[in-house]
Amino acid sequence: MKKILPIALIFLASIGAEARKQPKKAQFTHETVEIPAVTPQVIAVETAHSALILQVDEKGVVRTVHYGNRIADPGQFLRFDPRYYRDLDPGSLNYPAAGGRFVGNPALSVLYADGTRNTELHYTSHETSGDRTVLHLKDYVTAMEVDLVYECCPEADVIVARSVIRNGGSKAVTLTDFASSSLTVSARKYFLTHFHGTWAEEMQIDREPLGHGTKVLESRRGIQTSQCGNPSFFLSLDTAEWSETSGEVIAGALAWSGNWRISFEEPENGQMRIIGGINPYASAWPLKPGETFTTPDMIWTWSGSGAGQASRNLHRWARKRQINAGGRITPTLLNNWEGTYFDFNAQLLKGIIDDAAAMGLEMFVLDDGWFGNEFPRNDDRAGLGDWELNEKKLPEGIDHLASYAHAKGLKFGIWIEPEMVNPASNLARQHPDWIVQSPGREREQIRNQWTLDLSNPAVQDFVFGVFDRTMSLSPRIDYIKWDCNRSITSFGSPYLGTEQDRFFIGYIQGLYSVLDRVRAKYPDTIIQCCSSGGARVDYGQLRYFNEVWTSDNTDADSRIGIQYATSLIYPACIMGDHVSVVPNHQTGSITPLKFRFDLACTGRLGMELQPKTLTPAERAFADRCIKSYKGYRDLVFNGDLYRLASPYEGDDYALMYVSEDKSRAVVFVFNLAFRNRDKFAAEYKLQGLDPARRYKVTELNVDKSCWWGDGKAFTGEFLASGGFNPSLRKPHASAVFLLTTL
Ligand code: DGJ
């Protein structure tokens, strides 16, 4: 026994020595690599009213020292010490990397070949050319390089930021955080507004004060970017309230259609660090020597006069620089989905086209159900993937319908869902390896369908082919509704082999490359982005699409909240808003036709019903609304939005659009509950008008006006001072007023 113990100890010690030997690879030299000194300086990225001011110290550390109003002499920030305690840098680093003194949530973290993870970025140079500033940063030990790119839209007070991350070393590395942009701001209070939701209840508002710790907004659903949250936010500074017209507000949005993450971290010194980018969840990204990774764009705006201005900034930028043909006036339309669902034939559709033309609508859109023969698409259980015309349902062909619509003066649109496949389809049988899946696991179905693996170039070709072949069904196709009715589960790609971490990002890169090809070939086709309603509303998609289907919920009561919240980030020109029947198919609610029309007219007006269900009086009313809408829709599409009352705060919703030259405006008011007389005085203070000009006010879509001032003229000053108080008392009373200068 006595002898055994020392032998066992020697054995155990040798195991310990073995274990200690294992991590030997890292070469710790104990020699410090010298960081070249740089001349301290201030770099100001400026728009008309805002400035992002970066300070570079003598060690080349770049800090955000200001994001707010434009400052006449930003050079004064050279003297500013952003550290609250000499030895600590609690986080004002402009693009914090995991390593060095930084202990917060990083924008960048890198796993190196030797197993180390420390990255410290230093300024090397920068250049500004026109509205574009690029800072070059480098880690002198690992040779990682980051270019921080800032592109300004001065007239909209928007700064678009992205990062280009390069492996300048000689060994492969893995990026485990790779944010687009980071910003640190300082205030006494932070009040966050963000969006949550679910199917048919997208874009619901959440508001909360932020304190110490980290608040994370994110999506891990792969492709339905925005069903449960939207990659965007508002941060009000120095207040615990939402205000449309006062206070400092920073708004941000990420232009990425996959998994995203925006975090808000208040470190110990009370600053707020915001980081936005692709969600690195299950997506560590490998970079070989010399390779780069370019992040998606993070869009920032600042307003010193409340949230309304921040929205207008984003809208103006988006119309001018981001949305495909932003601000283009797209046609009013009739979509047959809620009118027929899958149950139609050419005769029925031609009847709908006749009625749409008679009501003055400008396009007919044929929704789901026109394809599949062996697996006909007569419900949502079959046919997706087999994009050939259903010969039994529509033997006359698509061109027959499109020509009919054109002959009646209507444009023609058609629905596709090219990223998806039903198990009951030829495609699923022919290409099981094209389906998103994980080895040995059940391929989960959502809405009876699977997702095609767009990280695979063969699938990308197929999806482009679906669009292309659909367009070839008729030279008279003017509009495509591109749907996407599920998110990703049991994720994995047969194509990617052992590189599964590339899947989530690779899918979206594949989708964008398909959309690039689509837009190269079809630059003018109007394309609607639909995803079970509004599950893909983001500025990444909008580079390619003209509009979105905000929600499958067509109930006007529900849509008020959805459309109001969508308007915080996205302009009205992208919002497809349809009048449908009552009781509403999703909620069972009954609302007046006028209320439904007035609300649909706040975006791109459409109808989604069988017109034969309307009474002659309702038809006549529809004609009238469509006609009047055409007279002011340029304001909806391109005017500046002013929100006058929020449905989240009271029993009404009111908004107005004002032309850029302030010569015309349209005001919408919606009453959501019974409101008694005491609420009438000085109800709405109109905004955005020229105080000195006189505006004639005309109420539309009524025989008897609800305001004593109808038909009269008032100065902008008067209307902004509380003179506008239409008498709307009953629930679901609504009104539309056109203002024109004399
Ligand atoms: C979901 C969409 O949001 C609806 O508008 C409709 O197009 C259906 N898909 C068709 O399946």
Give, for 577, the enclosing helix (H) or strand (E). strand 575-579
What would the DSSP string read from start to end of 669-685?
Answer: EEE-S---GGG-TT-B-
346 close to 401: Cβ distance less than 8 angstroms: yes
Which atom of ligand 1 is closest in space to residue 415's alpha carbon?
Answer: 7
228 close to 251: Cβ distance less than 8 angstroms: no
| Backbone φ and ψ of 430, nearest 5° | -75, -35
**Which residue owns the Cα nearest ligand 1 atom 1?**
532
Looking at residue 419, its pLDDT comes to 98
What would the DSSP string read from start to end of 377-437?
Answer: -SSTTB-TT--SB-TTT-TT-HHHHHHHHHHTT-EEEEEE-TTEE-SBSHHHHH-GGGB--
Cα dihedral 140, 142, 143, 149, rounded to 10, equals -90
Rounded mean pLDDT, 246-260: 98
Ligand 1 center–CA 368 separation, angstroms: 7
Which atom of ligand 1 is closest in space to residue 531's alpha carbon?
Answer: 3
Looking at residue 600, its pLDDT comes to 98
Asked if pLDDT for residue 291 goes beyond 70, the answer is yes
Greater model confidence, 90 or 262 = 262
pLDDT digits (tens, 9 = 90+) for 13-47: 444 445 455 555 556 778 899 999 999 999 999 99
Q: Are strands 173-178 and 285-287 parallel, antiparallel or unpaired?
A: antiparallel
Which atom of ligand 1 is closest in space to residue 608's alpha carbon?
Answer: 5
113 close to 139: Cβ distance less than 8 angstroms: no
Ligand 1 center–CA 533 separation, angstroms: 7
Rounded Cα distance, 505 and 282, in Å: 10
Which atom of ligand 1 is closest in space to residue 481's alpha carbon?
Answer: 7
Residue 457: band (very low, low, confident or very high) from pLDDT cuts 50, 70, 90: very high
Residue 269: band (very low, low, confident or very high) from pLDDT cuts 50, 70, 90: confident
Q: What is the DSSP letter of 322?
A: I
Asked if pLDDT for residue 716 goes beyond 80, the answer is yes
Give, to the nearest 10 degrees, the angle between helix 503-521 and helix 457-471: 30
**Which residue owns the Cα nearest ligand 1 atom 2?**
532
Rounded mean pLDDT, 422-432: 98
Q: Which of 340, 365, 368 to mutate to test the pocket of ligand 1 (most atoms within 8 A of CB)?
A: 368
Ligand 1 center–CA 333 separation, angstroms: 15
What percent of the chain has pLDDT above 90? 90
Looking at residue 681, its pLDDT comes to 53
Q: Which of 276, 259, 291 is nearest to 506 (CA)?
A: 259
Q: Please, what is the Cα angle at 262 between 256 and 267, to 5 degrees?
A: 155
**Which residue owns the Cα nearest ligand 1 atom 11?**
368
Rounded Cα distance, 250 and 68, in Å: 8
pLDDT digits (tens, 9 = 90+) for 533-553: 999 999 999 999 999 999 999
Ligand 1 center–CA 604 separation, angstroms: 17
Which atom of ligand 1 is closest in space to residue 530's alpha carbon?
Answer: 3
Ligand 1 center–CA 635 separation, angstroms: 28
**Which residue owns the Cα nearest ligand 1 atom 9?**
532
Rounded Cα distance, 243 and 222, in Å: 34
Rounded mean pLDDT, 318-328: 97
Rounded mean pLDDT, 447-464: 98
Identify each DSSP E strand in 112-268 by its residue range: 122-129, 132-138, 144-153, 158-167, 173-178, 181-186, 190-196, 204-210, 213-219, 232-237, 249-254, 260-266
Pocket of ligand 1 (CB under 6 A): 337, 367-368, 415, 483, 485, 530, 532-533, 549, 552
Looking at residue 85, its pLDDT comes to 59
Ligand 1 center–CA 481 separation, angstroms: 9
| Backbone φ and ψ of 288, nearest 5° | -75, 165
Q: Which residues contact 44 (CB under 8 A, 6 or more apart)?
A: 51, 52, 53, 54, 71, 74
**Which residue owns the Cα nearest ligand 1 atom 10?**
368
pLDDT digits (tens, 9 = 90+) for 587-633: 999 999 999 999 999 999 999 999 999 999 999 999 999 999 999 99
Q: Which of 336, 422, 483, 559 to mutate to test the pocket of ligand 1 (most atoms within 8 A of CB)?
A: 483
Coil, strand or helix: which one is 557? helix
Rounded mean pLDDT, 314-332: 97
Return the active site residues: 483, 552
pLDDT digits (tens, 9 = 90+) for 49-60: 999 999 999 999
pLDDT digits (tens, 9 = 90+) for 628-678: 999 999 999 999 999 999 999 989 999 999 999 999 999 999 999 988 765
Residue 723: band (very low, low, confident or very high) from pLDDT cuts 50, 70, 90: confident
Looking at residue 2, its pLDDT comes to 45
**Which residue owns the Cα nearest ligand 1 atom 8?**
368
Ligand 1 center–CA 371 separation, angstroms: 15
Q: Which of 549, 555, 575 to mutate to test the pocket of ligand 1 (most atoms within 8 A of CB)?
A: 549
Rounded mean pLDDT, 330-352: 98
Asked if pLDDT for residue 530 goes beyond 80, the answer is yes
Looking at residue 267, its pLDDT comes to 86
Which range, of 93-107, 401-415, 453-467, 506-520, averages the lowest pLDDT? Answer: 93-107
pLDDT digits (tens, 9 = 90+) for 569-586: 999 999 999 999 999 999
Coil, strand or helix: which one is 632? helix
- Judge if the upstream peptide bond of residue 231 is cis by omega within 30 degrees of 0: no
409 close to 454: Cβ distance less than 8 angstroms: no
> What sign has the CA pseudo-torsion 400, 404, 407, 410?
negative
Asked if pLDDT for residue 372 goes beyond 50, the answer is yes
Rounded mean pLDDT, 475-504: 98
Q: Which residues contact 543 (CB under 8 A, 6 or more apart)?
A: 255, 322, 323, 324, 515
Looking at residue 679, its pLDDT comes to 60
Ligand 1 center–CA 531 separation, angstroms: 8
Ligand 1 center–CA 417 separation, angstroms: 9
The model scores a pTM over 0.75: yes
Ligand 1 center–CA 535 separation, angstroms: 12
53 close to 82: Cβ distance less than 8 angstroms: no
State how far the alpha carbon of 273 is from the alpha carbons of 183, 186, 235, 266, in Å. Answer: 6, 9, 11, 6
H helix and E strand count, the chain:
12, 36
Written as six digits, the tokens of 92 are 């004002």
pLDDT digits (tens, 9 = 90+) for 157-193: 999 999 999 999 999 999 999 999 999 999 999 999 9
Q: What is the DSSP letter of 37?
A: P
